[in-house]
Amino acid sequence: MQPPKDYIFNHKGFNFQPDLVTAEYIDSLEDFEIRDSDVFLVTFPKSGTVWTQNILSLIYHEGHRDGTEDTDLMDRVPWLEYNIRSMDYISRPSPRLFAAHLPYYLVPKGLRNKRAKVIYVARNPKDVLVSYYHFTRMAVKFETAENFDDFMERFLAGEVLASSWLDHVEGWYAHKGDFNILFLTYEEMKKDLRNSVLKICTFLGKKLTEDELQAVVDKATFDKMRVDPRANYEHMPADILDQDKGRFLRKGTIGDWKNIMTVAQSERFDSVFKERLQNLPLKFCWDINEDLPS
C-alpha cells in the first residue's frame, strides 16, 4: 500500500523519512561491514528505543555512569539508517552501538550471518500507537494527523514511518533463528528494570559490579531520563522536534492507551490486529496493574 503523503517514502516495502535518508543509502547497508563486537538495538518506533539506547550507553560507558562525560545518546548509539550527525561509522572504535527501525530483511547481511548482537525491544501496540500519535504532534517534519481516529487508521494500515507494527514484530520474530538476538518487551523493562538490565548484560557478556549495575538502573528510570538532556532529545533542533508541542519522554507507562482510545476505537483496533496478535509468540502486558504474561 502506498503511503498517502510525501512525509514518508516507501522503499522495498518499508516507509522511511525522506529528508533523512535515500534509497541508495538504504541499499548500501546490505554490505555495511559488521564487526563481531557490534551491538544493534532494533525497534518499531515508540517501543522503548531511547530507553534501551540509554541502557546500552550506560552499560558500555563508565563516563556516562559516573556523569564525567556529557555525550548525547544520538552520538553514543546512532541510528544506522538515519545518520543524522553524518558520523563516520566505519572508523568508529569498537564496540560500536547502533539503533535501527529497519525490518529484518533490510539490515546488513553480516547481521544475518550472526555476526554482532541484536537486541529487539517490542511494546504492546496500543501504547505504541498512542505514543506515536503524540510524537507526530511534536515531530515537525511528520504530517500531523487531524485527530486520533485518523492516525489510528494510518497506523493500522501501516501508513506511518516504519510501516506496519505487525509486519515488523512478526518479521523479526519469525527470523530470529537467523540472528544472534535477544527479545525484550517494554513492559518487562517497566515492571522489572533491574532484571531487564541484567538480561541485557548477560546477553552481551558484560559483567558489571553491583554498584555499576545499580548506577545503570538508577539512570535509566523514567524520572531520571526525563530530566537528562542527553536522553530526552532536548538538544534536537526546533525544526525537527518542537518541544513546545510535547515531551519525548511523555508518560512512560503501560496502559496509557486506555486514556485516549474509546471502546469503539479499541474494538476497531482489535478487529484488525487480533488474529495475527494471537498467533504471535511474543505476548504483551496491556496495563500497569496486570502481571507480565508468562
Which residues contribute to the site for ligand PPS (CB under 6 A)? 43, 45-51, 127, 131, 134-135, 190, 220-222, 225, 249-252, 256
In the complex, minimum distance from the CB of residue 161 to ligand PPS, in angstroms, rounded to a whole number: 9
Which is nearer to ligand PPS, 143 or 178 (by Cβ)? 143
- Written as nine digits, the cell of 114 is 550472526
Decide if 101 is catalytic: yes
Question: Nearest CA to 122 among 288, 290, 294, 283?
Answer: 283
Q: Determine whether 9 is exposed, middle or buried from the number of CB atoms within 10 Å of its CB (0-12, 13-18, 19+).
A: middle
> Of 101, 134, 175, 235, which residue is the catalytic one?
101
CA 9/CA 153 separation, integer angstroms: 18
SS3 251: coil
Find the shortest distance in angstroms from Cβ 33 to ligand PPS: 25
- Single-letter amino acid code for the residue at 142: F
Q: What are 29's three cell numbers? A: 547497508
CB of 43 or CB of 108, closer to ligand PPS: 43
Sign of CA dihedral 56, 58, 61, 64: positive
Q: Cα angle vertex 59, ends 109, 103, to 5°? A: 30
- HSE (CB half, 13 Å, CA atoms) of 72? 11
Using the minimum distance from each CB to ligand PPS, give the nearer residue, 82 or 110: 82
CB of 30 or CB of 223, closer to ligand PPS: 223
- What is the spatial order of strands in the sheet that 117-122 belongs to? 97-100, 39-43, 117-122, 181-185
**At closest approach, how far in Å is the CB of 257 from ligand PPS?**
9
Contacts of 202-210 spanning 24+ positions with Cβ under 8 A: 203/117, 203/119, 204/39, 204/59, 204/117, 206/59, 206/60, 208/59
Nearer to ligand PPS by Cβ, of 178 and 234: the residue is: 234
- What type of residue sits at position 124? N
Q: Is 140 helix (H, G, I), strand (E, B) or coil?
A: coil
Any idea which residues carry the catalytic annotation?
101
